[in-house]
Chains A and B, each alone.
Chain A
C-alpha cells in the first residue's frame, strides 16, 4: 500500500513536471513570434516597414495612403509601425535601439531634430533618385519652399523630402488683446512692441492670467528670440555643395543665391553679447511678471490653458490650430502673427519627412514610397485637418482652415515666403547633447539676477563645448 502510494506520488510528481515542461514548451511556441520579433510589422515578409512617431491610431490613419499607394505599386507591400514616444529625441532613441537589435525599419519619419543624426549615421542620400526622377519631382519642388528642403541637406546631399513643417509664430488671444485696447500687432512689430503688448494685457487682466507663456525646449523656447536678434547659441554656417539640386529645381527661385549644401553647427556661441542681450530681454519679462519662468518639457497642457483664455500670447506652429479647435476655441478666439522683429525678423522652423535607412531591404521600393508620400494626393489624405502645416504651399489654403481659424492663416506659409532666411532648429548630429546643454541652462539664465544670467551662459558655453566635442 505504502509502495503503491509512493508510486502514485512519484507518478504525480513526474506528471506535474511533465505538464510544467509541456507548458513551458507550449508557451514558448505560442510566443515565438514575439520572442523573435517576427510580429514586428514588415518582418518575416518583404514588406517595406515604415516607422512613424505616434500611436497605433496614427498608423491606422495612414492606411488610406497605404491603400492609395497599393493601387500605384501593387508589387510593394507596406507596413507602418507607429512608435510611441514622448518627443522626437525619445523616438530616435527607440529607432536606434531597433538598429542595435538588428530589426531596423526601412523608412523612418524624421524631424529636423534628428535629420543630421540620421544623415550622418543611418540614412541613405536621395541624390541618385532625384537625379533619375527629376522630371517627376519638379512639381513637388515647385510647391515646396527651398528653406524646408535646405534643412534636409547635409554635406551637399539631400536625405529627406519635407512633408510637414511648423514655424515659431506668435499665437495671441484676440479677446485679451481687445480688453487691453489694442489692435492686431503689425506684421513688422518689434520686441519693444511685444513687451508693450504684454504689459497692456497684464494691466487689463491682472488676475489668473499670464500674458506670455513659453516652455523650455529647442522649438519655440529661447531660440526664436535668438534668431530674431540675429544670433544663436551655436555658430551657424553652411557647407558647400548641393548645386545639383538647386540648379535642377530652384534655378529661378529668388532665394537661389542663399542656398547651400546644408547647415552646420560646429561651435558654441553662448558667449555672444547678442545671446546675452536676448536672454536679458526674456529675464526682464519674467522679472516684471509679463512672462513665466519656462518649464522644461512639452506644451501639451498649454493648449487647454490657451483655449480657456488664461494665456495672452505664446509661440507655436500651425500644428496648434486643430488642438485649439478640439479644445473648444472659436475660430475668432485666437489669431497668429509673425514673431517680433529685433535686428532681423528671421524665424525658427522645424520640418519632417521620410528618410530611407542605409539598411533598407529594397531602397528602390523605399524611394517609391517617399515619392508617393510627397505627392499631392497622398498629402491630402494625410492632412485633412490643420494639425500641422503641410510642406506644399498649395495645401495651406482657405479650405484647410475653414471653420477652425485663424483669420490670418496666411502667416504660416508667409513666414517662409516673406523671410527667406528663416532657419531650421539648430540640430547637429549631437542634437540630444546640445538640447540638454541648452535646456538645462535656460531657466537659470532667465530666472535670477544679472550674475546668475552670466553664470548660466558661461555654463551653457562649457556644456555646448563638451557636447560638440563628443562624437554624434
Chain B
C-alpha cells in the first residue's frame, strides 16, 4: 500500500516534472517555429544560394566561389561597401551624439510634462515609414522648388543642389536617416540617465565637480553600458540602411549614396542575380558580426558597470 502510494507519488511527481519540462517548450514553440521558418531557413538558404547562379526562372546551377569572386571585383559593390562604412561612421556618431545631448538636456533642464512631450516628439519619426518620409524629403530638398532652398533664400543662400551632387545627396541621406532614428537612442539614454543614482551626482558635487565635469566623470562612465547597447544597435541598423538612399537618390548621383543593401536589392530583384545578391549578403553579415564582436571585445575596456 505504502509502496503503491510512493509509486503513485513518484509517478505524479515525474508527470509534473515532465509537464514542467515540455510546458516552456510549448510556449516557446511558436517563436522557435517562426524563427526557424522565417529567419534560420532563409539565412541557410541565402548562404547556400551564394554558391549558385539563379535567376528565379531557370534552375539554379552550382558555381562554387564564382559569385564571391565576381562581387569582390565589381567596383560598384566595393564603392557601396565603402559608402556604407562612411555612412555608419558619420550617421552613428551624429545619432548617438544628438541623442545623448538631447537626453541630458531633456532629463536635467525640463519640467516633467515637457519631458514627456519631447520623448514622444523625438520618438515619433521612428514610427513613420522610412519610404514615406523619404518621398516627403525629396520634395523638401528639391533644388528648384523645395522648401529648404526657399527658406535659405531668405538669408541670401543661393539654391543648393541637395540631391544632385555627391556631397549634397550624402548629406541629405545622413540627415534624414539621423532625424528618423535618433529617437530610439534618445529613449535608451533617457532610461540610462534615470538609472544613475542622484547620490553619485551629489557626491561628485561635494568633491567639487560642476557642469561638464560632472557629465564627463559621472554621467558618461555610468552611462557606458547604455552607450554600448545603443551603439551596437545603431551600427547594426546603419549597416543595413536602404530606404532613405533608395527613395531619395536611388544611390546617385553616380554611386555616391549607393549602400551595400541597395546593391543586394539591385542584384536580386532588378538584375535577377540571386546568387550574387546572396554572396554580397553573406559578406555584409560577416562584416556586421565582426564589428559587433569587436565592439563587445572593446567594451571590456570602456564599459563600467555599477
Whether A292 contacts B254 by the Cβ 8 Å rule is no
- Number of B residues with CB within 8 Å of any CB on chain A: 34
Partner of B252, one of A432, A440, A462, A463: A440
Partner of A470, one of B26, B138, B163, B271: B271
Convert A280-318 into 0s and 1s, putting 1 for each residue whose CB lies closer than 8 angstroms to a CB of B. Answer: 000000000000111111000100010000100000000
Interface SS majority for chain A: helix
Judged by a CB distance under 8 angstroms, whether A229 is at the interface is: no
A297 / chain B contacts, CB cutoff of 8 Å:
138, 250
A301 / chain B contacts, CB cutoff of 8 Å:
139, 142, 145
The verdict on A295 contacting B163 (CB below 8 Å), with A96-B57, A100-B56, A440-B254 known, is: yes
The verdict on A292 contacting B143 (CB below 8 Å), with A432-B270, A443-B164 known, is: yes
Partner of A99, one of B57, B166, B254: B57
Partner of B57, one of A122, A216, A310: A122
Whether B254 contacts A296 by the Cβ 8 Å rule is no
The verdict on A293 contacting B164 (CB below 8 Å), with A443-B253, A443-B254 known, is: yes
Partner of B254, one of A310, A430, A456: A456
Judged by a CB distance under 8 angstroms, whether B266 is at the interface is: yes
Judged by a CB distance under 8 angstroms, whether B66 is at the interface is: no
B258 / chain A contacts, CB cutoff of 8 Å:
440
Judged by a CB distance under 8 angstroms, whether B210 is at the interface is: no
Which A residue's beta carbon lies closest to that of B276?
A470
Partner of B251, one of A99, A440, A463: A440
Whether B270 contacts A292 by the Cβ 8 Å rule is no
Whether A293 contacts B271 by the Cβ 8 Å rule is no
A447 / chain B contacts, CB cutoff of 8 Å:
161, 164-165, 253
- CA gap between A122 and B75 in the complex, in Å: 31
Judged by a CB distance under 8 angstroms, whether B249 is at the interface is: yes
- CA gap between A463 and B74 in the complex, in Å: 9
Judged by a CB distance under 8 angstroms, whether A471 is at the interface is: yes
B143 / chain A contacts, CB cutoff of 8 Å:
292-293
- CA gap between A463 and B255 in the complex, in Å: 11
Min CB distance, B69 to chain A, in Å?
14
Judged by a CB distance under 8 angstroms, whether B144 is at the interface is: yes
Whether A471 contacts B55 by the Cβ 8 Å rule is yes
Whether A443 contacts B74 by the Cβ 8 Å rule is no
Whether B57 contacts A470 by the Cβ 8 Å rule is no
- CA gap between A216 and B55 in the complex, in Å: 27
A430 / chain B contacts, CB cutoff of 8 Å:
271
Could you tell me which residues of chain B, from 202 to 220, have a CB within 8 Å of some CB in chain A?
none
A-side residues, CB < 8 A to B, are 17, 89, 93, 96-97, 99-100, 121-122, 210, 213, 216, 292-297, 301, 305, 310, 430, 432-433, 436, 439-441, 443-444, 447, 456, 459, 462-463, 466-467, 470-472
Please name the 9 residue pairs, one residue from A and one from B, whose CB atoms are nearest each other, closest first: A443-B253, A293-B164, A432-B270, A296-B250, A100-B56, A444-B254, A433-B271, A93-B269, A444-B253
